[in-house]
Structure 1
Amino acid sequence: MASRVVVVGGGIIGLAAARELVSRGNDVVVLEKETGWAAHQTGHNSNVVHAGLYYKPGSLKARMSVAGNASMIAFARDNDVPVDVCGKLVVATANEELPRLAVLAERAEANGVPARRVSATEAREFEPEVSAVEALHVTSTAIIDYPAVCAALVRSLDGQDLRLSSPALGIRPGAQGGVEVATPQGVVRGDVLVNCAGLHADAIARLAGLSPSARIVPFRGEYYELREDRRYLVRGLIYPVPDPDLPFLGVHLTRMLDGSVHAGPNAVLALSREGYRWRDVSPAHLADVARFPGTWRLAKRFARTGVEEVLRSFSRRRFAASLARLVPAVGEHDLVRAESGVRAQAMLPSGALVDDFLIDQAPGQVHVLNAPSPGATGALEIAKHVADLAVTHLR
């Protein structure tokens, strides 16, 4: 008789994990609290298939994004999901950024990412409007439609028990072993619980009786788009050289599959777990964040950066100035507000942001506690790892 695994979360990682578990002979129940799949992080990101450029060699992020780049592109092509392997430029706009660009090139080589340093003249052959003293051209970066990937994953799960509008309200051990999950429609029973709840992953872990090793702190990523008559300024993907002392990559420019050009994200602390706007405020969430010592330690460490991000959130002029470092022709009147996303970032009590993917376990339980970008890129590889762990709990 097949084992039954209860997967909480219907984003790309939850659906990919379900698919992988089914491929190994298990039955799955997928519980998603929203009325549709890919409702949060998966459906509110820049749709980039990352190359694996930035991550510490040997880390889960490095291994799973490099392998995930290949497997995600192959999955898209096999399932008629739109994908464009367009490559990207990482641009050094000043001489003082060149040492960091060199380190990035070394990391690309260590991770097996196809990339080469190019001169300013060569960079402008790819992006005529770019400002660069030198750049790194990464050939394997792609643009994809992640909600369409999720739709394909759902189709691959035909015959399994997929439940929308089914939040997990309570989790307890089953009377005969396994796990029981209370939902508005009744109790769901399974042999193992797999938690892929993203923004709510730590809350689900606590609901299951764990004291998770990290806390989810949501950051809102705010985007603009270039006006349609200014889209010609960007041909593909243009990124800055990241500052290793800062937790995010910085604002960048991304041409989407429909020809639009996204600009961002600006990163600010969200005021609720699903805080897509400043007015989305949860007093209970804010009280919880305020009680967590890591919040204050992070705020102290990045006070200046945090203030700058907030100022940029309210100033289209400041946002445009950040983009103009990469493409000088971009001005504030070229920008139109676009949809925001919220990143589920795990934080330790020390205030350190968890840099790698993080998975906690307990008897009969696997909890994916940190899988932000490049989580979507590596989803099929994360799914294999999660399934490996889940199977150990079925023996």
Structure 2
Amino acid sequence: MNMKAPRGTADVLPTEAKKWQFVENKIKEICDRYHFNEIRTPLFEHTELFQRGVGDSTDIVQKEMYTFEDRGGRSLTLRPEGTASVARAFVQNKLYGEVNQPVKLFYFMQMFRYERPQQGRMRQLNQFGVEVLGSADPAIDAEVIDLAMTCYKELGLTSLKLVINSLGDQESRINYREALMKHFAPHKEELCEDCQTRLTQNPMRILDCKKDKEHPSMSTAPSILDYLNDESRHYFEKLKSYLTMLDVEYEVDPNLVRGLDYYNHTAFEIMSEAEGFGAITTLAGGGRYNGLVEDIGGPDTPGIGFGMGIERLLMALEAENQELTLDEQLDAFFIAVGENPKSQAVKLVHDLRTNGIQTDMDYQGRKMKAQFKAADRYKAKYVLILGEDEFEKQVVNVKDMETGDQDEVSIDKLVEMLKQKLLGGKGHE
């Protein structure tokens, strides 16, 4: 019997989970500053949503989705990415009718992709993302990119590279598609099987191929920037000017196309340049997807967003030797020796917790010396000692573990005293 976690999945143990909580709380605080609201969508969706929303020609839909049939014969898929689910929720719940537009959303989601597991790339992955629906203003594109960069910078990352490109509007893409087909057609038989199919389905995806990236035809492929019409070129220039105003450094890469069919106009990736980070340097990627909401049955609604892998973010922090400031100290540890003191301690621990004081106690029946060692391991700020003598006098010995000072405190004044020392008199709110 195989009782290990399935390949491509991993347990997040308590010590690591504190890092995840720290990162997530920091990102939530930044989203609040940028006035984004959280959305949560189901873990699985109807398969057709991803086929239509992400695109039949993408690797995600063709090779990586976890798809199953339920007992009612419906085809369902564990979500492989977040944008299609958010767009579906936007349409189904008629968020396009909200008074406040655009709708600015963020999420933390688990995604599922059947791909070869490697460091920082799992079959069950955790992603933070944002989506803005209802605005076609390049200023909101700049805001979304700025938000992503702010998350990384405020968590301590410095070795970052932002790469941007324009995929143009529909007219620009049609012209570029024809140029790519003409360029790659003479080399069709030299390309991988996937790219031979992409040549007619979505030739832009050839530029994103890992297998053929060294093929000579890649370096001579036409640039999308040469096929932008005036409107698309103006849009891209405005985006670049906004990023410059925001002091967001960037590079333009005409070959950046992203791996999903729904992108147009802005596309971007953020990469780590930290030494030893690994071969796959991408931390986050996203872009504009005007037309996606319409494709899944909603009104014509422009949108832009990105996805950021939490596992890869933590890897980048480790590569740059960034220590997260985790508060791993316990406020108070209760040591009770004797049956009556133990019963009293159970009630006092509850009272302390109710008043916002993080408290724990021994549940192993250990001797006082072993309980003190446990308090040290928990890095307790205060140790509260209640033995038979203290119980008779209805007092608790309170030991400050930093100074070594010890005071007798009346049981009925214990909570208030610790609130003053730990919370400045503020209780649980």
Fold equivalence (TM over 0.5):
no
Shorter-normalised TM range: under 0.3
The normalised TM-score by structure 1 is: 0.27
| Structure with more of its chain in strand, by fraction | 1
| Structure with more of its chain in helix, by fraction | 2
Greater Rg by CA: 2
The normalised TM-score by structure 2 is: 0.25
